[in-house]
Amino acid sequence: MSGSADSQNCLNCGTELVGQYCGHCGQRAATRLISIFELLRDAFGDLFELDSRLWRTLVPLLIRPGLLTKDYLEGRRARYMPPFRMYLVLSVVFFVVAFFNPKDEFAILYEPVAESATETQTPDDMAEEDVDAGIAEEPEEDPASPDETSPADDDPGLDITFDDDDDSVNISFDDETGVLKSCTVGNFDMGDSPEWLKRRITPERLENVCERLKNAGMDGLREAIQSNIPAGLIVLLPLMAFVLKLLYPLSRRYYVEHLLFFVHFHAFFFLTLSLLVLLGRLGDWIAILETPSTLIIVAASLYIPIYLFISMRKVYGQGRVITFLKYVPLTISYFIGFTLIMVGAALIAVFSI
């Protein structure tokens, strides 16, 4: 026993007990040492109980647009998961599902793939084999000069240019190797930019960025950008809530109610993308499911904008025409905001890598 069975007060909060459970905090009156089974039940109970808040939240979130927001605003909240907690959980799940590669994280558990003989042979080894076999031939004249490169070699890979006219800052990666091919600063000039920006973006600082990019490579830059995306999407939430506030000036809704709308929409977005990523990987593993999974992914891509339109109608209660007239500027604003957030995440990654 970890506590007194005949105690008249709750061992957790001290409230006087009436019945099996505390009326203040909900803890059971009689306490005892718990078993491993009870630990597992507490950990995974919501996952396997069909009537739990988890499934009462995720199912309508996925197939009933706007219902969670409408119910929450009308006071029906206890049956669902808290909105911001759900958003954070689903965002973490999405980024784990989308960017977690077990072969990279647990490489020790996988057998190394043997390289082919042609990949492992060096030019010297191939030349020695030709000489030993007695088949060495005079090299044919190459019409291209030694300094010329093939079109494949001219492929710049990932190219990031901050000033096309002056070619002041150019960052180029090789797509296959991820190696930094070039990073030039040149005569960098911020022009008429504000003084606070000129003091922060200087040629010396850009040269240091180039040096760090050489060490990090394409993979390091990609990971830095991915780590900034969750924070960027959180910044996008209040911006889009402000757009909704402008589109519904006579709705008599507080700003936080518009914010709640996009919290639920982003939670749906993360849940849908997580399922699509898992479905796509399942189609890659099982050939017979490749075509059905592709069709489902296409259908889901069309369902996401339709979901947003239906949610707007359900939550704000306006007709199809008026909702559509507000839906168009909202989607345009969302696209612009999302693009700016991604550009910002990339710039922050470049300067903070």
Axis crossing angle, helix 83-99 with helix 255-285, rounded to the nearest 10: 30
pLDDT at residue 209, as a whole number: 76
pLDDT of 274 above 80: yes
Predicted local distance difference test score (pLDDT) of residue 27: 81
Indicate left, alpha or beta for 252 from its phi (over 0: left) and psi (-120 to 50: alpha): left
pLDDT tens figures, 239-248: 999 999 999 9
Query: Residue 273: helix, strand or coil by DSSP?
Result: helix
Q: Residue holding tokens 């612009």? A: 336
Is 80 exceeded by the pLDDT of residue 190?
Answer: no
Pairing of strands 170-173, 180-184: antiparallel
Contact between residue 337 and residue 208 where contact means Cβ atoms under 8 Å apart: no
The residue-averaged pLDDT of 196-225 equals 74
As a whole number of angstroms, the distance between CA 141 and CA 113 comes to 37
Query: Which three-class secondary structure state does DSSP give residue 39?
Result: helix
Model confidence at 31: pLDDT above 70 = no
- Say whether pLDDT at 13 is over 80: yes
Contact 173/157 with Cβ under 8 angstroms? yes
pLDDT in tens, 104-134: 666 666 666 655 544 445 555 555 555 455 4
As a whole number, mean pLDDT of residues 308-337 equals 94
Range with the largest mean pLDDT of 88-102, 182-196, 204-218, 291-305: 291-305
State the average pLDDT for the chain.
Answer: 76
In this predicted model, what pLDDT tens digit does every residue of 126-157 receive, in sequence order?
A: 555 554 554 444 445 444 444 444 444 444 44
Q: What is the mean pLDDT of the segment spanning 169-198?
A: 65
DSSP assignment letter at 168? -
In this predicted structure, the answer to whether residue 6 has a pLDDT above a threshold of 50 is: yes
Name which of 139-143, 190-194, 323-327 the model is least confident about.
139-143
Q: What is the pLDDT of residue 207?
A: 74
Q: What percent of the chain has pLDDT over 90?
A: 25
CB 86, CB 46: distance < 8 Å: no
Q: Whole-prediction pTM value?
A: 0.67
Assess whether pLDDT exceeds 80 at residue 48. no
